[in-house]
Chains A and B, each alone.
Chain A
Amino acid sequence: MKKRVRYAQLVFWALPLAGILPGVVQAAGYPVMRPVEIKSAAHLKTPPVDVTVGGRVTSDNNEPLPGVTVLVKGTTIGTATDANGNFSLTVPTGNETLIISFIGFTTQEIPVNGRTNINISLVPDAKALEEVVVVGYGTQKKSDVTGALSSVSAKQIEQIPVQNITQALQGRAAGVDVAGGNFRPGEAPSIVIRGNRSISASNQPLYVVDGIPLAEGTGINDFNPLDIESMEILKDASATAIYGSRGANGVILITTKRGKEGRFSVNYDTYVSLDRAAVKLDLFNGGEFAELRRQAYRNTNTYNRTTTASRNSNFAYPDPESDFRLFSADPYMWESVAMGYEWVDQANLVPRMRPATAEEQARYGVAELPIYDASKVRTTDWQDMALRNAVTQSHQLVMRGGNDRIRAAFSGGYLDQQGIQPGQDFKRYSARLSLDYNVAKFLTFGGALNTNLNVQNYGGDIYGKFVGQLPIAVPYDNEGNVIQLPGGDINIYNPIRDVDLIINERRSTRIFGSFYGEAKITPNLRYRLNFGPDYRQFRRGEFQGALSSNRQGGTAWARNEQNQNFSYVIENLLYYDKKVGADHTLGVTLLQSSQKDRAESINITASDFPYESQLWYNLGSSNRSGPENYGSGFSTRTLLSWMGRVNYGFKDRYLLTASGRFDGSSVLAPGNKWDFFPSFALAWKVQEEPFLQGVNFINELKFRVGYGAVGQSSVAPYQTGGILGRTPYVWDESPAYGYAPSGQRLPNLRWEKTSTLNAGIDFGIFDRRLSGSVEVYQANTTNLILPRALPTVSGYSQVTQNIGATRNTGVELALTTDNIRRPDGLNWTTDFIFTKNKEEFVELYNGPVSDVGNRWFIGQPLGVYYDYKFLGIWQTDEAEQAKVYNREPGDIKVADLNNDQLINNQDLMVLGSNRPKWSGSINNTFSYKGFDLTFLVYARMGQLINNINYRPGLGGRYQGIQFDYWTPENPSNEFPRPIRNLDIQTYGSSLQYQNGNFVKVRNISLNYNVPQILAARLKASSLSVYVNAVNPFLFTKFRALDPEVTDPGTGSADIAQARGLSTKSLVFGLRVGF
């Protein structure tokens, strides 16, 4: 059997490899793209002599450069080099001058001088290092940036194949904490920039796609990560303040790939990813579980036979008659346990006996023992049944090109991700079109349209339910029928049919546009109009078949929920840029913006259907007189803003940015809707100072300091007027719905404000062998919008108020070292990223006084774990002491903080939180002759995880992780003794808080860029293949699956158990460009 499995695995791993090939052939399809020749005979002024000039353009290390523009000076005659760097063009006289230009290289002018063959070597442009980065409402030279920002390039995104954009940011930018909430296909991890600051309001950053701020809560899961050209993360308030009320949690600017002037190109990217569970739970096997249950009975003196005289003895060894009582609720479970014994007569429970050893005689007081071997007890590996080896494939086609009038790009993407739990998958179909059109010299129009369809089979909590099954139970009886209750426990229902019978399909469509018109009014003054419509349609279809473990043989149940959202942003922008004299540069930006989100929803829930194939598509077929539930909803919210910004530079050394923004929001109370958010930042480029001119080892040294205020108003609409909630009641048999006060009036609800002081240094030394930046910051959030818990005597359980303050203080370090830079092409660079953020309450409504009722503690982060402190297990020699606390040896020992010999709520304490003390990553890149090897190691340290798996069923009733429980013979200090009927022991929750430190090798990737000469044979301009191991290694002491899931939740055990199920993958990919 085992061999067969291994063979099957081999076949499994081999199949997709074969699958790649057809994919390549299909996708490549050899579209033959010729370089566009930009010719125009109409401009010829001298009679043509028609000299043909040819040649080859290479880089300084002799690599041919394709796509280089070769232009005859003063004309529009031109061409571009082919894949081998060769060009050929016809010039009128042979005395012209050629202009050779290519992005990233210094443009050269070469007189032809009658030559017909000219080989040109281009040198990289030093100014190319002068990277241009996107900042809010504009772009800036990186060296001129005054705020704190991190950039992530398309190349970095491509390095690890990811299914969504957020994943691509993990370990890439200092101060950005990305944590997977769960690893279900189609779910995006959460992202927090420089810690949490808000309690009720969102801590998600603002996403700005091609200049359009996305509507709140919509996320970027709908966008294809491969469509992204670059991402900039604005972290401090001096950078984000221009987004005013939206920038409180940082801003992520996303620039998508657009058409470029130059040759038309086609790029095709694909990968196949083979995914498996990265970590699994260590569960009890059959023999171990049977012993756990026995022990639970023994500890309550109930492991004994019922029908014989020895009723009061409590067998310390496995006894068939007692076992029969414990395990016969399901005959198949009994069969599993019975396999552990040798039988004389199994029907009458007569085991074969063996003489007891002297030690056993002393211990058990018997001369003979039944022959029993725990390892022979049958084990069903339910966990294995809940997992599969999944395949993900992605295809992405990008076509772009353009000339001086029109630039266009089109891309289409397809992602098909299978979940490692059966019944879960995710498909994304995306298409994107962008166009930029220079209508006239002073006028440009353009836009981009993203469309996508996501289909997510959310599925049931397959894994959680399967790992909850008893290892001694089996899913099917001998006839192959499903056993409803394997193990005969009414609370453990067989989930084996759930894959087919629990369906939760989420289908979302999004059409997102970003359009603009830009006019140059004077050489210094530009006007730009942005318009960003965003339409989203979401449908959640849920179905639970009658025989699913959720319905347990009742009636089928289904829900159809639809949400429709439309948001738009309209922005009017004026830019004024002027250089005054030699020393002064001035840039002014003015903005007026309005934004509206509109949401509408409808849902119906029904049950009891004549035929289950209808899923949620014919809810009217219910046998009931009506639906179980239905409803619809509507809301809008609007935001209005005015903003101004000044950038001033003096001698290119001293830079100043100052901005101010007025924001008004509809969701806040009348009279408190508007607020002002100012910012300013200073930068000093020290390397430009005369006194450093002679110091050669310093390439860059810049000091920055910035201050800014941003706001937050993410409260739900319509909260300020004192909302009512509907209550159900009945007069006799007729409805008597009432309306009760459910939220108090909030006449004072205003903006939550965060002001950040940030100081940073950017540096590059030793010929930029060592470069990086250091940031320190403190962000103070005041007027916190708090859902403050109220004494329920008031009739309300909470109220939203602006009270209190939080503070985030941190250090960020990003360092790049150029370890090896050899002329033969061997390069090794290392990127270090380190983030340390401290999040704390500074003040609450009573000043610096903790609010225990809300679990808010001054000096502690938001959302701490507050519980008894687990000290271990009461040991046999501590019986006396344990008795003081009404405990017995084997019970959980918790700290008696005030030593009053009583464990009560005064002994609860802050145990920690799920916020890491620090996190960091190291990314190494080696490159040599077309090979790139990178590996990224990521670490999160100092977080506590609240995980229900650590509070296993100790009643001997439920399966759990293979914990080391206490018995008199095994004085464990980790887990208490099992007690029948007591699944959650007293202070059981204190077991749940576990250190979640981990180090993860996120990625090892080997990429090979096929030499262009070889690629050219395939008529391709570039070709690379890669193999990538994603999440191959995890180092942690944490035992309940992946500690990256810092908040698995404690609500339902099924969900909590499934949450930490992460994947590791082996990815094979191909990128080809034409």
Chain B
Amino acid sequence: MNIKNKYKALLLIPFLSFGVFSCKDYLEEELVATLTEDYYKTEQGVEDLIESAYEPVRNKFQYEWAYTLWNFGTDEFTHADQPTHSYYNTYDTRLNTNNGVETFVHDVWAANYAGINRCNTGLEYIPTVAGVRTLTTPLAKTQRMAELRFLRGFYFFQLVQQFGMIPLPLSSTQGVQTEYLRAEVPEVYRVIMADLKFAADNLPAAQLQVGRATQGAARHFLAKAYLTRGSAVTDQRGQKPSDIDSAAYYADQVITATSQYTLENDYARLWDLSSYTNGVTAEKSKEVIFSAQWNNDPLLAGRYGNQTHLYYIMQYDNEPGMVRDIANGRPFRRLMPTDFAMDIYDRKNDSRFYKSFKLAFISNNAATIPKWTATNAPSPDLVGKNKFSVGDTAIYILVNTPQTAVSQQKINQARYALYPRYYRSSTGQLESAFASRAKYPTLVKFLDPFRQSVAQQQGVRNGILARLGETYLIAAEAYGRKGNYAKALEYINVLRQRAAYKAGEAKRPEYWSVEGGQRGDVSNTYSQIMASEELFTTNAASERYPTGVTSPQDRFIHFILNERSRELLGELYRWEDLVRTETLLVRAKAFNPDATAIQPFHKLRPIPQEHLERITINGQPLTTAQRQEQQNPGY
């Protein structure tokens, strides 16, 4: 290189320094907008992890699995005319074969296990965290750990009831794990009991933040878990003779903690939809023990919100004088009550029936109000005039009996669209307007008039997972199973007292218009519905015992199931209750007109195909035979 070239080369120095960076720093990732697991080493991180562990309790209410897994195929409800997933109701071959294709069951499976991993992770991080604000004392840490044990127990309980044998991970997932064989059901229950027991022993009676798990919630679920395990007769759940005593004991503890929990005076107050504020008050009712929490902020709704409001509504929006609106909801028409659900009530004196169902729709659309015609007008001067105005009844669903069937003519001449459960056609045949499955009583419990738009699917109301009304029934069942019917009836009659119309209470109009009562009667109806031992010591017609249910012990189980329906109709416990009491087969066959294909193996759901495809045994994917082993029988 000559001098000149050296001189030229000097020119390059600034360029080179422009281009070259220190390798190490240049490739380092600096976290700005992203959080990694290191966050859990802080107190705030752990608190946020615990909050995230609550989120999957919403899962039950988030999507169509809410009713398909918890209410379809039972005695209470059957599918309406929009038959999405109706095979969960009919148990036809699609249920047995579609598990490979649909991801439905897997969604529920995955959500619960996501919750479990959050709990496991939190249980490992909490002891290591140095608390400065909330986790400063061992007590505070224990309480938070108790919340996580409560949630973990809750998730396992939910899973075991649907799937039977399940994998049982008890520590956080580190690295890639694919070896997940199933644990025996008794083993799963042992973990559930241990978790819920720890929670019941260590949770505070009340939490600063409404919605966190409390001691009462833990005791309620512990009682329910004991009852579930102890109910098994032919099923192997690891049942012990003491289970029923434990169930009674923990249920009693919740019931007697009256400062924390009391029944609403009026059943209807539980579903108060008169305003958002009243709805929120109802959600915080002292009867509610634990619920999945939502509010009307769309940012907090999650992907789904609470979608249960969609499923029970009948088709009202195609009727004259009606248009779909927020107050009446989106009629997805998935579920309609069975005859059993309508007839198990003393509809006249037990206010719970009419307080559970919406039967009238009020006209909200002046544009489509129908006019009287010459053929149907009650008097000629009305011809051409509107049948009704906005604000009047546009549709009425009449829950009558064959004896009180109305005539076709009466339907034709009604001012509003009248859909009776029973009517006589022009040829005198007994028909039902419910046969179309588009018109039927609409369950009010999940309605949600507080969404922001008609189309919005994300509901804003809480989903109740445990309320004191059920605790009473758990206690009653436990005592009844022990043969202490008197004590059982004591609890049942507390609920019946609440169910009866109170003295001075204005009764539902159906009391006199349908049920044959006196208009203006404001007397207490409790004496009419007070429960007595005859209801199950004899084959009481009102209880509609299925054939073969003859002993008082058996009748008591069916009686308590009837009472659970009367109190908890549609509240998404039913499928589990029937499986728990090993009555699914007999009751679905007896009371669900569509569940004809049900077989014994249907007491368990199929293990999700995705799970079977992804797990390994000794690092190898499962062979067909191994897969079948890990699958529930029949699928």
Interface residues in chain A, defined as those with a beta carbon under 8 Å from any beta carbon in chain B: 307-309, 311, 329, 442, 488, 490, 517, 519, 521-522, 527, 529, 551-555, 570-572, 592-594, 607-608, 624, 626, 628-629, 632-636, 638, 640, 664-667, 673, 717-718, 720-724, 727-741, 744-745, 788-797, 799, 801, 846, 849, 851-853, 867, 886, 902-906, 908, 981-982, 986, 989
Contact = CB atoms under 8 A, between A and B. Distances in A.
Interface in B581-628: 609-611, 613-616, 619-621, 624
Nearest to A739: B48
B218 to A, nearest CB: 18
B21 to A, nearest CB: 6
B32 interface: yes
A728 B456 contact: no
A640 B297 contact: no
Nearest to A630: B299
Nearest to B169: A793
Contacts of A664: 23, 27
Contact of B209 (A635, A722, A731): A731
17 contacts: A519-B11, A521-B8, A552-B455, A593-B19, A594-B21, A666-B27, A720-B29, A724-B36, A728-B301, A729-B211, A730-B293, A734-B209, A738-B48, A740-B114, A792-B611, A794-B169, A853-B613
B52 to A, nearest CB: 3
Contact of B427 (A309, A592, A741, A846): A309
A314 B480 CA distance: 53
Given A638-B27, A791-B167, 4 more contacts: A570-B18, A789-B613, A791-B610, A796-B173
Nearest to A639: B27
Among all A-B residue pairs, the 4 with the closest Cβ atoms: A795-B117, A905-B100, A738-B52, A853-B613
Contact of B97 (A517, A739, A745, A904): A904
Contacts of A608: 452
A795 B298 contact: no
Interface in B291-321: 293-295, 297-302, 317-318
Contact of A736 (B5, B30, B93, B211): B211
Interface string B84-125: 000000001110110111000010011001101110110000
Given A793-B113, A793-B611, A735 B39 contact: no
Interface in B13-61: 15-16, 18-21, 23, 26-39, 45, 48-55, 58
A1023 B619 CA distance: 70
B318 A329 contact: yes
A721 B40 CA distance: 13
Given A664-B27, A908-B100, A727 B52 contact: yes
Contact of A981 (B81, B426, B614): B81
A729 B114 contact: no
B9 interface: yes
A517 B96 CA distance: 71
Nearest to A885: B93
Given A329-B318, A728-B55, A741-B117, A572 B16 contact: yes
A177 B120 CA distance: 48
A1046 to B, nearest CB: 23
Contact of B610 (A629, A733, A853): A853
B3 interface: no
A732 B452 contact: no
B212 interface: yes
A740 B49 contact: yes
B15 A572 contact: yes
A91 B525 CA distance: 127
B175 A744 contact: yes
Contacts of B294: 730
Contact of B54 (A633, A638, A723, A736): A736
A852 B20 CA distance: 47
Interface stretch (B176-184, B235-243, B392-400): B176-184
A517 to B, nearest CB: 7
Contact of B611 (A624, A791, A801, A981): A791
A788 B176 contact: yes
Nearest to B303: A728
User: Interface of chain A, helix or strand or loop or mixed?
Assistant: mixed
Contact of A730 (B11, B92, B295): B295
Contacts, number: 270
Contacts of B167: 791, 793
Contacts of A851: 613, 621
B173 A795 contact: yes
Contacts of B169: 793-794
A581 to B, nearest CB: 22
Contacts of B212: 731
A732 B33 contact: no
Among B12, B38, B52, B299, find the residue whose CB has the most chain A CB atoms closer than 10 A: B52
Nearest to B324: A490
Contacts of B175: 744
A739 B45 contact: yes
A626 B299 CA distance: 10
B101 A730 contact: no
B347 interface: no
A733 B209 CA distance: 10
B531 interface: no
A334 to B, nearest CB: 14
A460 to B, nearest CB: 16
A792 B115 CA distance: 11
Contacts of A729: 51-52, 54-55, 58, 211, 293, 300
A609 to B, nearest CB: 13
Given A570-B18, A628-B298, A732 B101 contact: no
Nearest to B58: A729
Contacts of B99: 904-905
A853 B614 contact: yes
Interface in B150-209: 167, 169, 172-173, 175-178, 180, 209
Nearest to A721: B36
A743 to B, nearest CB: 9
Given A592-B19, A740-B52, A731 B293 contact: yes
A574 to B, nearest CB: 9
B454 interface: yes
Nearest to B25: A638
Among B27, B172, B175, find the residue whose CB has the most chain A CB atoms closer than 10 A: B27
Contact of A519 (B12, B297, B619): B12
A478 B54 CA distance: 55
Nearest to B110: A792
A554 B619 contact: no
B302 A728 contact: yes
A572 B20 CA distance: 8
Contacts of A628: 298-299
A572 B324 CA distance: 68
A794 B173 contact: yes
A794 B19 contact: no
Contact of B20 (A527, A592, A635, A723): A592
B132 interface: no
B210 A635 contact: no
A70 B155 CA distance: 89
A160 B96 CA distance: 55
Contacts of B542: none
B611 A555 contact: no
Contact of B318 (A488, A572, A982): A488
A707 to B, nearest CB: 28
Contacts of A788: 176
B27 A721 contact: no
Contact of A794 (B58, B96, B113, B624): B113
Interface string B495-523: 00000000000000000000000000000
A673 B1 CA distance: 38
Nearest to A788: B176
B49 A722 contact: no
B52 A554 contact: no
A738 B20 CA distance: 42
A741 B118 contact: yes
Contacts of B39: 724, 739
